[in-house]
Structure 1
Amino acid sequence: MATFMDVHHGLNGITAEQLKEAHDADLAIQAEEGVTFEHAWADPEAGLVYCLSEAPSAEAVQRVHERAGHRADEVHKVPLTV
């Protein structure tokens, strides 16, 4: 499994409740794609949401997001961590 950070743009004004709803939608179906979403962060002023996950591929991460109704604008593999 690899680690991925994905980014969603254009979510200006997102609330904590909306972020939780979107994250919960991912969690509800993540196992079907072999993905484990670890955490999500949002910056409502910048309109950005970041999601950290472990997955077999970037495509699997994107499939979960698409099925949950919020396609990621970017999905980045994170090969190094400390």
Structure 2
Amino acid sequence: MKEFMLYMRNEKDAKKSLTDDQHLAFIKKCETYIGILKSENKLIAAQPIVREGVVLKKTENGWAEKDIATDKETQVGYYHILAANL
């Protein structure tokens, strides 16, 4: 088994397209998925992530920093899992 880190990203206004019931149904599906991963001993960790920060990129002269608020997408969470392959 190998470790994989799956970062979840959404369009910034993705929730606006869902009703409260649809959003709740989505959350329930995530909980079900997490439960399956746990029952199969494949989940190391899963967490929502604060939707702010920066992206760092190595350049020839050092590091470039970009505010994630300027992206069309934003980080929302991650799954750290064990799997045979991606």
Q: Same fold (TM over 0.5)?
A: no
- Relative to the length of structure 2, the TM-score reads 0.38
Larger radius of gyration: 2
Q: Which has the higher strand share?
A: 2
* Greater length-normalized contact order (CA 8 Å, ≥ 6 residues apart): 2
